[in-house]
A and B are shown apart, each in its own frame.
Chain A
Amino acid sequence: MTALVPLPVILPLLGAGVTLVLSRRVRAQRVVSSAVLVAVVLVAAILVVEADRSGPQVLWIGAWPEPLGISLVADRLSSLLLLVSAIVALAVLVFSIGQGMTGDDEDTPLTIYHPTFLVLVAGVANAFLAGDLFNLFVSFEILLFASYVLLTLGGTRARVRAGTIYVIVNMLSSSLFLIALAAVYASTGSLNLAQLSGRLDQLPSSVSLVVQLLLLTTFAIKAAVFPLSFWLPDSYPTAPAPVTAVFAGLLTKVGVYAIIRTQTLLFPHSPLSDLLLWAALLTMLIGILGAVAQSDIKRMLSFTLVSHIGYMVFGIGLATAGGYAGAIFYVVHHITIQTALFLVLGLVERRAGSTSVIRLGGVARLFPLLGVLFFVPAMNLAGIPPMSGFLGKVGLVEAGLRTGTALAYALVVASMVTSLLTLYAMAKAWNLAFWRTPAEAHETARALSDPEGTEELVHHRDHVHVHGSIFEARDLEEARRVVDVEEAEVLDLHQLLERDALPPRLPVTMVAVTGALIAFSLSLSLVAGPLFGYAHRAAADLLDRQTYIGAVLTGGAR
């Protein structure tokens, strides 16, 4: 079965090559990339079963003698995440085919979407399977590069601005990762995770603390853990809907996976658990407070994404079997639900012309199906029983109560507050965008965009200027101009209705696949028992370490 291990990486890469060659034949591209992703889902499913039944599947690439080559490892945790991310990636791909990402939308150049998307999937799969730190670095670079391209598709003004921040932050975190790698290699002479787990134990604690901090900082940037989360809400929302959806589902979770893997395998006696718990607390609360303040639902969801990363870090910080199991379950839940929500917003944007609560109103009455499609995952995200969001939170809260320290109790309280505030943010989006009438929305929007508002901005600029703040007048001027242009061009829903200028009906594929993904997220509640059982077994493996090390280094090379 070990022959299957590299397939989730190889197949998408091959597919990327083939679709690049087929760039003139849109239909062939679609067939190839869908087929590749279906194959990856199947392989991942077999790996899940196999890893659960007969332990971690290990492959040393190129048949080099054991500690020398590059190893790919599919244990319970990796293969589960691989399966979920492959399913989600397939759903997003079908959605974007339905949307015509490969068609005649002038914002999105057709030929490169499929190859880039497949490279992204290959990078994500490689990150989950990587058996050594440098391979992990390379897979981060693969998936980041694909994401740079996807984020700046079409090169519009907003996307270039968003892409700038995203690319620079990620290049910086990659450099930090390289510094960490140099430090690890200098102190231990190896980069293989299984070997390192033995060798890092023997280092002086100060040295291993430096290494741990460097790695944690790197992964915390990727996973958007506060205070390193500022880049995410700035860069995700401007991308095309399916791109935002797949980023929100997969990319941050790769960072979370890397934190879980390194914390358990390399630093089992971590002195930084409390630090992680504090980070989790702040990520949850500050993320959700940011979400409450937003007027664009896409941005609101980007902030809830940051906030809910806090739940996973909470589980990791507890460093108990229950904590890790809860975190693993939550990752699975959150990958599906966050992607589903962004896809629904893609539908709303396409049908009603906007995702801003200032411009929307009455979506639920006009398009009841969209209302249902938004309501169900929104409630799931907030954690309404008996949906998977609730079950995941219960798992984490239980683990927190069992740990029983003051900080753990604080986190239990914070996670409940966050859950309530998520509900509040979702209710706000629901009330404004889906429930009130379009005419009401129009009135409020007009009141907001009065000339008075512009004056305030000018006033604000002078104020800032006088007080010598870091803002330069030119930038605010620029921003105001952009805001004005945007408001002049985009009509709100009421105006669209009045002028009978609503966008055309949604393609069936898009709605169907979004519905399917939401059904999948609901089915997580049905299989919650077995899934939690699996997560507990995965967590036990993580804490035991010997399962992983023994499977990778059969010859006893430590």
Chain B
Amino acid sequence: MTANTTLILTSAALIGCAVYLLLERSLTRVLVGLVMLGNGVNLLFLVASGRAGSAPIIGAEPGRASSDPLPQALVLTAIVIGLATTAFVLAMAYRSWQLTGHDDVQDDVEDTLVRRLAEADEASDSFDLTHDVQAGDMPEEEGQRA
């Protein structure tokens, strides 16, 4: 099987840009990233289907090898699913904008609570971090006791 280099490179570029966009905090950019990712992956299926041929209809072009129809069917399914998810994420980004005025992905409230509990606990590292424990304190005390 020969692989189509142009398709592979295009797909790689799309997926690379998608990864960059996915790391953003704004949901709209993440969505653009996901759409690019989907397109890049769909191109991979065309690579997987091998050399392009005639339309895969029996008797359409006798004497010429036809394309493999299965990957095209798979890509079609993937495109439909991608369309639906895109619509859903768009609706969610809009809802987020309605509720908060922006569509950034928020920090978790419970995480903040757990962090706060840890800070209130004198035995934890977070307490030391937030209460600026003097570096010299502890050994001195121990020295006195000794």
* Interface residue ranges, A against B (CB under 8 Å): 134, 138, 141, 145, 148, 152, 155, 157-158, 160-161, 163-165, 167-168, 171-172, 174-175, 178-179, 181-183, 185-186, 234, 237, 293-296, 299, 448, 453, 456-457, 459-460, 463, 471, 475-476, 478-480, 482-483, 486
Asked if B81 contacts A141 (CB within 8 A), the reply is: yes
When distances are taken between beta carbons in the complex, the residues of chain B under 8 Å from A182 are: 41, 44-45, 47-48, 71
List 14 interface pairs A-B (beta carbons < 8 Å), by A numbering.
Answer: A141-B81, A148-B88, A160-B96, A167-B85, A171-B34, A178-B41, A178-B45, A182-B48, A183-B48, A185-B70, A234-B108, A296-B113, A456-B119, A471-B107
Given the known inter-chain contacts A160-B96, A182-B48, A186-B47, please indicate yes or no for A295 contacting B84, CB distance below 8 A.
no
When distances are taken between beta carbons in the complex, the residues of chain B under 8 Å from A453 are: 116, 120
Asked if B105 contacts A164 (CB within 8 A), the reply is: yes
Asked if A475 contacts B106 (CB within 8 A), the reply is: yes
Centre residue among A167, A171, A299, A459 by max chain B CB count within 10 A: A171
Asked if A456 contacts B130 (CB within 8 A), the reply is: yes
Asked if B84 contacts A145 (CB within 8 A), the reply is: yes
Centre residue among B42, B50, B85, B119 by max chain A CB count within 10 A: B85
When distances are taken between beta carbons in the complex, the residues of chain A under 8 Å from B138 are: none
When distances are taken between beta carbons in the complex, the residues of chain B under 8 Å from A163 are: 92
Partner of A295, one of B22, B41, B74, B117: B117
For B50-66 the 0/1 string (1 means CB < 8 A from A) is 10000000000000000
How far is the CB of B32 from the nearest CB of chain A, in Å? 12
Given the known inter-chain contacts A294-B114, A295-B114, A476-B112, please indicate yes or no for A179 contacting B41, CB distance below 8 A.
yes
For B94-137 the 0/1 string (1 means CB < 8 A from A) is 01100110001111111111111111100000000110000000
Asked if B110 contacts A299 (CB within 8 A), the reply is: yes
A302 closest partner in B (C-beta) = B110
How far is the CB of B91 from the nearest CB of chain A, in Å? 9
Asked if A161 contacts B106 (CB within 8 A), the reply is: yes
CA distance A127 to B84 in the complex (A): 20
- A-B contact number at CB 8 A: 130
When distances are taken between beta carbons in the complex, the residues of chain B under 8 Å from A457 are: 112, 116, 119
When distances are taken between beta carbons in the complex, the residues of chain A under 8 Å from B89 are: 167-168, 171
CA distance A158 to B113 in the complex (A): 14
How far is the CB of A48 from the nearest CB of chain B, in Å? 31
CA distance A482 to B108 in the complex (A): 10
CA distance A141 to B88 in the complex (A): 13
When distances are taken between beta carbons in the complex, the residues of chain B under 8 Å from A294 are: 110, 114
Asked if A168 contacts B120 (CB within 8 A), the reply is: no
Asked if A160 contacts B95 (CB within 8 A), the reply is: yes
How far is the CB of B53 from the nearest CB of chain A, in Å? 15
When distances are taken between beta carbons in the complex, the residues of chain B under 8 Å from A181 are: 45, 74
Q: Which 9 pairs of residues, A with B, have the shortest CB-CB distance?
A: A186-B48, A182-B44, A479-B112, A182-B48, A178-B41, A185-B48, A475-B107, A161-B106, A479-B107
When distances are taken between beta carbons in the complex, the residues of chain A under 8 Å from B85 are: 145, 148, 167, 171
CA distance A138 to B77 in the complex (A): 8
When distances are taken between beta carbons in the complex, the residues of chain B under 8 Å from A186 are: 1, 3, 47-48, 50
Interface status of B13 (Cβ within 8 A of chain A): no
Asked if B114 contacts A463 (CB within 8 A), the reply is: no
Interface status of B9 (Cβ within 8 A of chain A): no
For B15-53 the 0/1 string (1 means CB < 8 A from A) is 000000010000100100010011001101101111000
CA distance A172 to B99 in the complex (A): 25
When distances are taken between beta carbons in the complex, the residues of chain A under 8 Å from B119 are: 456-457, 460
Asked if A165 contacts B109 (CB within 8 A), the reply is: no
Asked if B109 contacts A479 (CB within 8 A), the reply is: yes
CA distance A295 to B44 in the complex (A): 45
CA distance A148 to B90 in the complex (A): 13
B118 closest partner in A (C-beta) = A293
Partner of B120, one of A148, A293, A448, A475: A448
CA distance A265 to B88 in the complex (A): 35
CA distance A483 to B27 in the complex (A): 23
How far is the CB of A62 from the nearest CB of chain B, in Å? 14
When distances are taken between beta carbons in the complex, the residues of chain B under 8 Å from A293 are: 114, 118
When distances are taken between beta carbons in the complex, the residues of chain A under 8 Å from B1 are: 186
A141 closest partner in B (C-beta) = B81
CA distance A482 to B100 in the complex (A): 11
CA distance A257 to B118 in the complex (A): 37
B84 closest partner in A (C-beta) = A145
Partner of B96, one of A134, A164, A471: A164
Asked if B117 contacts A172 (CB within 8 A), the reply is: no
Partner of A172, one of B22, B105, B106, B120: B22
Partner of A448, one of B88, B108, B117: B117
When distances are taken between beta carbons in the complex, the residues of chain B under 8 Å from A480 are: 112
Given the known inter-chain contacts A161-B105, A479-B106, please indicate yes or no for A463 contacting B129, CB distance below 8 A.
yes
When distances are taken between beta carbons in the complex, the residues of chain A under 8 Å from B49 are: 185
CA distance A292 to B85 in the complex (A): 35
CA distance A459 to B119 in the complex (A): 11
Given the known inter-chain contacts A172-B22, A460-B130, please indicate yes or no for A155 contacting B95, CB distance below 8 A.
yes
When distances are taken between beta carbons in the complex, the residues of chain A under 8 Å from B42 are: 178
Asked if B41 contacts A164 (CB within 8 A), the reply is: no
CA distance A179 to B27 in the complex (A): 23
When distances are taken between beta carbons in the complex, the residues of chain B under 8 Å from A165 are: 105
How far is the CB of A139 from the nearest CB of chain B, in Å? 12
Partner of B34, one of A172, A234, A448: A172
When distances are taken between beta carbons in the complex, the residues of chain A under 8 Å from B71 are: 182, 185
When distances are taken between beta carbons in the complex, the residues of chain A under 8 Å from B70 are: 185
CA distance A138 to B116 in the complex (A): 42
When distances are taken between beta carbons in the complex, the residues of chain B under 8 Å from A158 are: 109
How far is the CB of A254 from the nearest CB of chain B, in Å? 17
Asked if A476 contacts B92 (CB within 8 A), the reply is: no
Partner of B107, one of A134, A152, A172, A478: A478
How far is the CB of A238 from the nearest CB of chain B, in Å? 9
Beyond known contacts A457-B119, A460-B119, A479-B108: 9 more, CB 8 A cutoff: A161-B96, A161-B105, A167-B88, A168-B89, A178-B45, A237-B110, A295-B117, A456-B130, A460-B130
